[in-house]
A and B are shown apart, each in its own frame.
Chain A
Amino acid sequence: MSKALKAKDQLRILIPAGKAAPTPPVGPALGARGVKSMDFCKEFNARTAHIEHGVPTPTLITVEPDRTFSFITKTPPTTYLLKKTAGIEKGTGRPGHEVTGTISLKHVYEVAKIKAKDAHLKHLKLESIASTVVGTAKSLGLQVVP
Chain B
Amino acid sequence: MSFLALSRSSIRQAFSPCLARGYAAKSSNTERVLNVSAKDTSAAEEKTLSSCPPGTILEGLNYLKGQPPVIALPDDEYPPWLWDLMKPKVYADDGPGGKAEKKRLRRENQQRIKDQNFMKTQ
Contact = CB atoms under 8 A, between A and B. Distances in A.
A89 interface: no
A39 interface: no
Contacts of B78: 105-106, 109
Interface residues of B, number: 22
B64 A110 contact: no
Contacts of B83: 105, 146
B6 interface: no
Contacts of A49: 65
A18 B83 CA distance: 37
B82 A104 contact: no
A141 B94 CA distance: 36
A109 B65 contact: no
A81 B60 contact: yes
Interface SS, A side? helix
Contacts of A13: none
Interface in B40-70: 49-52, 56, 58-61, 63-65, 70
Please indicate which of the listed interface residues A49, A105, A108 has the most CB atoms of chain B within 10 Å of its own CB.
Answer: A105
Contacts of A83: 60
A52 B60 CA distance: 11
Contacts of A21: none
B81 interface: yes
A50 B52 contact: no
B92 interface: no
Contact of A84 (B60, B73, B79, B85): B60
Interface in A87-146: 87, 104-111, 114, 126-127, 130-131, 134, 144-146
B72 interface: yes
Interface of B: 49-52, 56, 58-61, 63-65, 70, 72-73, 78-79, 81-83, 85-86
